[in-house]
Amino acid sequence: MSISNKRFWDYWKRGMYEDALRYAVEEEKDQKQNRLQTMLFGTPEQLKQTGAITAVSVGEFIYDLIMINPTVVKGLDFARTEDLSSLYTLSQFSSQIDTTVLTGDMAQLQGYVAEQMIAAELQAKGHDVEFPEESNNPGWDILIDGQPFQVKNLANPNGVREHLETYPDIPVYVNEELAPYFEGNPNVYVSNISRDEVIDATSTTITHADDLLDFEIPWIAAGVSSIYNIKRVWKDEVAINQAVFNVMSDTSSRVVLGALGQKAGTVVGAMLFGPAGAITGAMFGAFTGASQGGKLSTGIRRAFSKKQEKEMIEAMDDLIRKVMSQIDQKLYIKKRKIEKLRGEMVSSKANDAVWKDIERRYTDEVAYLTNRKEELNTINKSIKNGSTLVADILPNVMAIITKCGVHSFHLQNELKRLQRKTNQYVKKM
């Protein structure tokens, strides 16, 4: 069973559901860290100093899982151990794949595993991920913040190129090994998941299954702590602010250089801001000269660059308003999913406790996004009325956008425009 904490099961079997949901999924042990965390947020020791690494409760674990696909709880009574266990198996997700051919088609199974692992990674970063109710959706596998995406986990780039030719309007997520082939491509997004990790997760979980439908969804088998450490730091103010500053000033080179055989700013920038992030490192590297080279007063800087500042303010306004619009879309998606989930859950004492926990987490997420939207709106007003210099607030705005979980696919044009205007502003200085 995926929840290994014996204390959870002790409380759960005694019907003490609300207490049980507060226990960690796993017994306390050394936390694992992947390259994404090291590149963006520093070493495990540095993460511990921020308090970012904490235990993952069963309640949070269940919430994230079923919010990806609310229909998996249909007919389940969490009071029954077998129902709770089945929530984490292939049988609950089989509507998306043809289980009749899986035993002879490891490629299809690995594709399914890749989708689940990428979904978990994106969920940890604050995105709203949904799987289609029907598997027959030409050109796409998952919805990310309402946008259809294809998922490819391949040894070579040919399959990705074929997808881009056939479906030029549908962006694609690829495994990290394929990143060098598509640098700067506006329709290709790079996951932190590697092909080897997908293959290992597939092999490990299917080996332990009594039959195919006992196959546990791979993000559990890949390790809860790894995914949730990403989630913790993505909500950590200090960690995100530092990560964005590193990208914008290109100070992360020593940590990242050589990670994927690319420039540090390109690698980390793309992870934060999508394809536009491949130029974001160079773009915002210029900001240090504008906002940190405090050799000139604000008044003098404005006198020298009035036109460029005006254009930069307009570009920032477009970006912020686009993000705020996408936050509204995310709130709508969450509301739709929570309503569907409520309709799928049967009534029982255990289910009522789970629902109460889910509703609380949903309310917290809505409040978090609403506050971020208001924060951006306040900053935008201060820029427009001249009380804040746009170059000075640029890193903070980018950090807030990152924490909002708005997918960068929706922001590529606005980011590129802001890049151009920032560079023009800096040259004028």
Per-residue pLDDT of the chain (429 residues; tens, 9 = 90+): 578 889 999 999 999 999 999 998 877 655 555 555 555 555 555 555 544 445 678 898 899 889 988 988 988 999 988 888 888 887 777 655 665 555 556 777 888 888 888 888 888 888 999 988 776 788 999 999 999 999 999 999 999 999 999 999 999 999 888 988 887 788 999 887 888 888 888 887 777 676 666 777 766 656 666 666 677 767 767 667 766 766 666 554 444 333 333 344 445 566 667 776 654 554 555 454 444 444 444 554 555 567 888 888 999 999 999 999 999 999 999 999 999 999 999 999 999 999 999 999 999 999 999 999 999 999 999 999 988 888 788 888 888 988 899 998 999 899 888 888 887 777 766
Helix pair angle (306-344, 412-428), 10° resolution: 160
**Cα–Cα distance for residue pair 141/163, rounded to 1 Å:** 12
Q: Which of 120, 78, 380 is nearest to 231 (CA)?
A: 120
**Cα–Cα distance for residue pair 3/89, rounded to 1 Å:** 13
Q: 142-144 and 129-130 as β-strands: parallel, antiparallel, unpaired? A: antiparallel
The pTM of this model reads 0.83
Q: 334 with 405: CB under 8 angstroms?
A: no
- 151 membership: H or E segment, kind and range: strand 147-152
Tokens of 249: 């000033």
**Cα–Cα distance for residue pair 262/274, rounded to 1 Å:** 15
Query: Hey, how many other C-beta atoms are within 10 angstroms of the C-beta on 47?
Result: 21
Alpha carbon of 227 to those of 118, 175, 252, 357: distances in Å? Answer: 10, 16, 22, 21
| Length reported for the chain | 429
SS3 280: helix
